[in-house]
Structure 1
Amino acid sequence: MPLSNKKISLHVHNPESDAPALVLLHGWGLNQAIWIPLVSNLTPHFRVITLDLPGFGESGWRADHAHFDHTTTDIMAAVSQVTSQPFFLAGWSMGGLFATHLARQYPTYIRGLVTIASSPCFVEQAPDWPGIKEETLASFRYQLSTDFRKTLERFLAVQALGSPRAREEIKTMRALLAEKPEPHPQALAAGLRWLAEVDLRAEMPLLEPPLLRLYGRLDSLVPQRAQAAVERTLTNQDDTAVTFTQSAHAPFLTETELLIETLVAWCESR
């Protein structure tokens, strides 16, 4: 069941199901089609809801979407149109920033939070927070201003870097990206700014919903040192972290069956 308006393009994959809802948020540059390899194996367990973040895929872009909080509010408003019960929420990479902020802002609506290859603060911060170097993001921003298609291609390559199936994953991501309209250049620019500026580290110990973190051991964007830094921000005994040893930044493409098995088991235990 597709639902599209000027704010958010959203799809409920099995609208008649009475299973708990699972909302999936994609990462920078991509769209909800990135979840296609997972959906058929998730629908027996969840009422799966995927959406395009503003300016990506078929979702519209407005000037106020440049504000992280406004976009977060619009995501919640869209999801609320199709589910009135608490739902599981999973966000990959940049989508994990939105998922984390949603769980902090709307804790009674979130049954469980899952972050995939994500960090509450993606950029390196002195003295003890590893992350993406600011100059790396600055080079992406510069290239984006001159050739956004080439920037997307470069980012796909970075996400697959380190994966034993890198070529296959880049090909898959490129094909899934082409399933939807090209992202709006302003949405791409806003996303790079969010990756550079959004810092949710202070929110992590305050999260109320149970939290599952899924990492790739070979990830170059959220490397192991950054993963360890994220773990140090957490105090909740109900938190769980799982590392996929053969994966880089997209473990749901590299170790799909294992990730689905891990996700389903964790959610069913809530």
Structure 2
Amino acid sequence: MSRPTLVLLHGWGLSPAVWAPLAPLWPADFEIHTPALPGHADAPACGPALADWADALLPAIPPGAIVVGWSLGALLALDLARRHPAHIRALVLTGATPRFVQGNDWPCALDAATLTDFQAAFGASPEPTQRRFVALQSLGDQARRSVANTLGGALSPTGPAHLPALALGLELLAETDLRASLSTLQLPVRVLHGDKDTLMPVEAAIRLADQLPQGRLSVLAGSGHAPFLSRPQEWVSLLESFVRDCRS
């Protein structure tokens, strides 16, 4: 049997360096790929639609891989699974939601006005706004300081070559709504979510897992939006168990 292959998709404004603290924890037989999202780190930008971003990542995903998506990376993982079902073996979603902003029938999300203000602030002062977003992600976490430091050290550059793609990424967070497609995803999905996530409430993860035909949720106590950084051993252990079950 071939080695388990995982492709890890990071969140908005970050880089693949965010996964570095997990390197000592991966089982020896795991093959790990950590591509950068379009326009982040050293990756070229692409078209403006979520599908454009997902398709730009597709060449970095070996057939039959398990895709691990965090935050914006989770939206991309869901889109890849719905449009390329034969290519993806399973999903692991963390800090995830099918819709990032609130609506009349979706209260468990970020207030739309807050994100609009955030987009305007990023246009005026990209770097400070990017760091404010990191602070939001670590808010409520029992390991807040160490999580914030790790996220801060993994930020994507905000130079002129990166700004358009980063602004597009915020638009994707504001506009994407994948709820209608969840029931069509016929593959195993593990949702790992922090119970102290103030950016994306745990209720969003509960609803997400409930609407996925093969979805299962695990909540990590004391963790915020990046539970793989605040509870890395537990997070990797849950992921490994899921991967072994998928391959048995």
Partners of 1:128 and 1:106 in 2: how far apart? 27
Aligned partner of 1:31 in structure 2 is 15
- Tell whether 2:45 aligns with 1:61: yes
Partners of 1:181 and 1:193 in 2: CA distance: 18
Structure 1 residue runs of 4 or more that deviate by more than 6 Å after TM superposition: none
* Residue pairs, 1:48-87, within 5 angstroms: 48-62=32-46, 64=47, 66-79=48-61, 83=62, 85-87=63-65
Q: Which amino acid aligns with 2:176?
A: V
Q: Which residue of 2 aligns with 1:250?
A: 226
- When residues 225 and 239 of structure 1 are mapped into structure 2, their CA distance, relative to the original with a 3 A threshold, is closer
**Residues of 2 paired with 1:252 and 1:45: CA distance?**
20
1:239 Cα deviation (Å)? 2.2
Whole-angstrom CA distance in 1 between matches of 2:203 and 2:89: 29
Distance 2:244 2:42 in 1: 32
**C-alpha displacement of 1:124:** 0.6
What residue in structure 1 maps to residue 175 of structure 2? 197
Q: Is the 8 A contact 1:218 1:248 kept in 2?
A: yes
Give the alignment's TM-score, normalised by structure 1.
0.86
Q: What are the ranges of 5 or more consecutive residues in structure 1 without an aligned counterpart?
A: 1-16
| Amino acid paired to 2:245 | S
Contact 2:6 2:67 in 1 (8 A): yes
Q: How far 1:225 sits from its partner (Å)?
A: 2.7
Change in CA separation of 1:156 and 1:128 when aligned onto 2, cut-off 3 Å: closer
User: Which secondary structure does the structure 2 equivalent of 1:30 belong to?
Assistant: coil
2:90 to 78, 100, 112: 112
Deviation at 1:182, TM superposition (A): 4.0
Q: CA separation in 1, counterparts of 2:67 and 2:60? A: 14
> Aligned residue for 1:42?
26
Residues 25-66 of structure 1, C-alpha deviations (whole Å, 9 max, x = no match): 00010011111011232251311000111110111124x2x2
Describe the superposition over 1:138-196 as per-residue Cα deviations: whole angstroms up to 9, x where unpaired: 1111101111001111000000000111122111111222xx64461111111111111
Maintained 8 Å contact 1:218/1:246: yes
Partner of 1:19: 3
Q: Is 1:131 paired with 2:109?
A: yes
TM-score using structure 2 length: 0.93
Partner in structure 2 of residue 150 of structure 1: 128
Paired residues in the alignment total 244
Question: Aligned ranges for residues 189-228 of structure 1 at < 5 Å?
Answer: 189-228=167-206
**Structure 2: distance between partners of 1:32 and 1:128:** 30
Task: Give the gaps of 5 or more residues in structure 2.
Answer: none
Note the aligned Cα RMSD (angstroms). 1.7
Contact 2:191 2:205 in 1 (8 A): no
Shift of 1:67: 1.8
Which residue in the other structure is 2:239 paired with?
A: 263
Change (3 A) 1:126 1:71: same
SS in 2 for 1:27: coil
